[in-house]
Chains A and B, each alone.
Chain A
């Protein structure tokens, strides 16, 4: 069965510093991977997705993620964060080759300090 682990529940960083939010998954088949962002008091919106092809995926707001099949990871990165990036970030996985559902990680709260 598929599962998603976000190792850090909270990540505090200073403004303009780089950040990496970690995501590991377990699945026995090919997967589709997603990162969603939830700003305070809002719903979720897609940051980026990996379906196939290049393992380095670029998303909105300067975020990118790299799919690493051997390490079953899909870490999210940004080279320089801004105060407006303060939000909760969710990694999600959907299994291929099946009529599947999507599993979300427990979320990582990113707080940016000026």
Chain B
């Protein structure tokens, strides 16, 4: 089954304790992306990756890191989490339309993170 998986689904942590949220897709998609969803703000892009070893900042990258060492995986790293990073996080992947834009995105189930 084609899917995007995220782990963990729920996480409660304390300020400053490094954490990683994993994301994996089995569709051989080139494009992967991380979003955070907050009430009234919709989805805001944190980082995206056009392919292996190619990543770029989205609209709200501060406090986050990513890496793309393999095509299927795109982990999100919070080196020193703070309470304002409490949010619902989604990973997504997509096929690229040649060198140009991306097609529809397939979303993971979400990770609800609480930082106290």
Contact = CB atoms under 8 A, between A and B. Distances in A.
Interface of A: 6, 9, 31-32, 34, 36, 42-46, 49, 51, 90, 94-107
Interface in B62-116: 90, 92, 94, 97, 99-105, 107-110
Contacts of A99: 50, 99-100
5 contacts: A99-B99, A99-B100, A100-B101, A106-B40, A106-B42
Contacts of B42: 6, 90, 104-107
B38 to A, nearest CB: 10
A51 B103 contact: yes
Grouping DSSP codes into helix (H, G, I), strand (E, B) and loop, the B interface class, with mixed when no group exceeds half, is strand
Interface of B: 33, 35, 40-45, 48, 50, 56, 58-59, 90, 92, 94, 97, 99-105, 107-110
Contacts of A106: 40-42
Contact of A104 (B40, B43, B94): B43
Given A90-B42, A96-B101, A43 B56 contact: no
Contacts of B107: 43-45
B100 A96 contact: yes
Nearest to A45: B107
Given A43-B107, A45-B107, A90 B43 contact: yes
A43 B110 contact: yes
Contact of B40 (A9, A49, A51, A103): A9
A96 to B, nearest CB: 5
Contacts of B56: 101
A44 B90 contact: yes
A43 B108 contact: yes
A43 B44 CA distance: 14
A98 B109 contact: no
B69 to A, nearest CB: 20
Contacts of A101: 33, 45, 48, 56, 58, 102
Contacts of B101: 31-32, 94-98, 100
A6 B97 CA distance: 26
Given A9-B40, A102-B33, A49 B104 contact: yes
